[in-house]
Chain A
């Protein structure tokens, strides 16, 4: 497990160093390329604002009204027997459906429980290790006119479930349980 932590610490700095040296070696105008790509980052950050506003307001209302607590208490006993914190369930449900909505939920969980709490870390790993099945399915198949999806949806959703289970197991192993 120490290796996993070391990877966390070193992966990004090493990757950055490697890209810069490799780029220079290949005679890429590094600084110009960097600024060119960076512009894209601003566009993305600004374009997700409406998605996050919509989702965070809905979740905040759901939580502040006491509804979230009510439903959490309903499912708590069953899930905690398996070491699954109930707070993660709404995120797990919405993750395959909408990427930006899930991003809103992840940031909400991190804000409420703290980034270094068990739930905060679990939400972080979950967000990173699964993808938006319905989005990929509708965009990719829709664009090329595939009408009969076959087992695609089943396979995609089961893969998401596998990602959720893997996230819970790995976070518990690396950071300790709740």
Chain B
């Protein structure tokens, strides 16, 4: 899908350049766009290094596990089909904590582990179970606590207050996660009524 969008953006741009006679601007845009991307990534290093360093301390201190146990009662309610002491629950909680702290690379393997366990709970069938869909819904609504990359980009472009979007992001994330859970529930009840 991203392949199509990417080619379309460029191809449509080139067609418009021919029609509008903006080929000079387009030539410039190609080189400036590439340069800007590299400059941006270099700028991201500072924040990413600092934040992931901090998170490593939190992880080594057992802070993420502690938080996971704090959230366990709430998460248990969201997954009525998963026994509280099942490994799936542990993996799902760790995945959510990693997501919350912007550790995307750590979150993915944990999420896959969680899915494996959920599949086992579902008798190894190749269809998505109720718990899998709920887990996915929560994951796709994002759980980010601190949007570090976004803050770094804002710093790069000389924002007067790069972090002023943290609070609004938290509120928006909370709303979208809540909505995701409700949407998931709605579809579940619709399924069961049909069946």
Contact = CB atoms under 8 A, between A and B. Distances in A.
Contact of B41 (A46, A58, A124): A46
21 contacts: A26-B62, A28-B57, A33-B59, A33-B60, A38-B49, A41-B48, A42-B48, A44-B105, A55-B37, A61-B14, A97-B5, A103-B149, A115-B162, A127-B147, A128-B150, A133-B140, A143-B115, A152-B137, A162-B183, A170-B168, A175-B168
Interface in A1-33: 3-9, 11-12, 15-16, 19-20, 22-23, 25-26, 28-30, 33
A12 B163 contact: yes
A129 B115 contact: no
Contact of B158 (A98, A115, A137): A115
B140 A145 contact: no
A103 B184 CA distance: 27
A178 interface: no
Interface stretch (A72-80, A81-89, A104-112): A104-112
* Interface size range of chain B in the complex: 35 or more
Contacts of B70: none
A110 B153 contact: yes
B51 to A, nearest CB: 7
B137 A162 contact: no
Nearest to B58: A19
Interface of B: 1-2, 5-6, 9-10, 12-17, 20, 22, 25-26, 28-30, 32-34, 36-38, 40-42, 44-45, 47-63, 105, 108, 111-112, 115-116, 119, 126-128, 132-133, 136-137, 139-142, 144-147, 149-150, 153-154, 156-173, 175-177, 179-180, 183-184, 187-188, 191
B160 A11 contact: no
A130 B169 CA distance: 10
Interface residues of A, number: 109
A55 B5 CA distance: 10
A152 B34 contact: no
A19 B54 contact: yes
A46 B45 CA distance: 8
Given A143-B112, A154-B187, A170-B168, A65 B56 contact: no
A136 B64 CA distance: 22
A59 to B, nearest CB: 6
B192 to A, nearest CB: 12
Contacts of B154: 110, 115, 120, 124
Given A42-B45, A67-B13, A148-B127, A170 B175 contact: yes
Contact of A19 (B47, B57, B162): B57
